[in-house]
A and B are shown apart, each in its own frame.
Chain A
Amino acid sequence: EIVLTQSPGTLSLSPGERVTLSCRASQSVSSSYLAWYQQKPGQAPRLLIYGASSRATGIPDRFSGSGSGTDFTLTISRLEPEDFAVYYCQQYGSSPPLTFGGGTKVEIK
């Protein structure tokens, strides 16, 4: 099983700041198979990035993804008030084929 570790657990930031979220895999993950989601309280997760770096439909270009192998990053270039949420990475691979990281909470400082 591929384990995804997200760090840090919580980030306290101010609107306008740049944020970088980390997702580290216990084994190499194909870049085609790494996705990022945003979840706000009481809502379902929303797909932000798939294929490590492709933005999903309707996602603002302040969100970007990068990385390969075991290290992946989600960057928000300039935090907007609506970006304060929990972010999850997810990979497709070996059994079980779909796993999520534990999440990083981005909170208002």
Chain B
Amino acid sequence: QVQLQESGPGLVKPSDTLSLTCTVSGGSVSSGSYYWSWIRQPPGKGLEWIGYIYYSGSTNYNPSLMSRVTISVDTSKNQFSLKLSSVTAADTAVYYCARVPRGVYFDYWGQGTLVTVSS
């Protein structure tokens, strides 16, 4: 059974960089069948796709966040990570990591982690 677990600070100051890591167990980020993605959900609102990465390092980002987002993968640790720069209160959300078969849909999700942007 594939499991994903997000980790990182729950509080980030405005204008700082949000950094999260997703650790994958029961599966490998090096599998060629899957992309690995970040999605976020502001409190009480809907889901927003942030971006995804392939094990080779190839990435695709939501154009609305592209200028501030970096997703990377560490195959040796079976992890992938998210960095979102210049955060504001609008970036306060639950951040989820997920597995994406063929880059098409999300079949396994982490439990999510709430990141609050506040001074």
Binding site for B on A (CB under 8 A): 32-33, 35, 37, 43-47, 50, 56, 88, 90, 92, 95-103
Contact = CB atoms under 8 A, between A and B. Distances in A.
A92 B60 CA distance: 13
A95 B111 CA distance: 27
B105 A35 contact: yes
Contacts of B16: none
A96 B104 contact: no
B76 interface: no
A43 B110 CA distance: 9
A92 B112 contact: no
Chain B residues touching A, majority SS: loop
Nearest to B94: A44
Contact of B103 (A90, A92, A99): A92
B102 to A, nearest CB: 9
A5 B37 CA distance: 23
B110 A44 contact: yes
A47 B49 contact: no
Given A47-B106, A90-B47, A98-B49, 18 more contacts: A37-B106, A44-B96, A45-B96, A50-B104, A50-B107, A56-B107, A88-B46, A88-B47, A90-B106, A92-B103, A92-B105, A96-B61, A98-B37, A98-B52, A98-B103, A100-B47, A100-B49, A103-B46
Which of B47, B96, B100, B109 counts the most chain A CB atoms within 10 A? B47
A92 B49 CA distance: 11
Contacts of A95: 63
A69 B86 CA distance: 39
Nearest to A97: B60
Given A44-B109, A44-B112, A45-B109, A96 B46 contact: no
B38 to A, nearest CB: 11
B104 A32 contact: yes
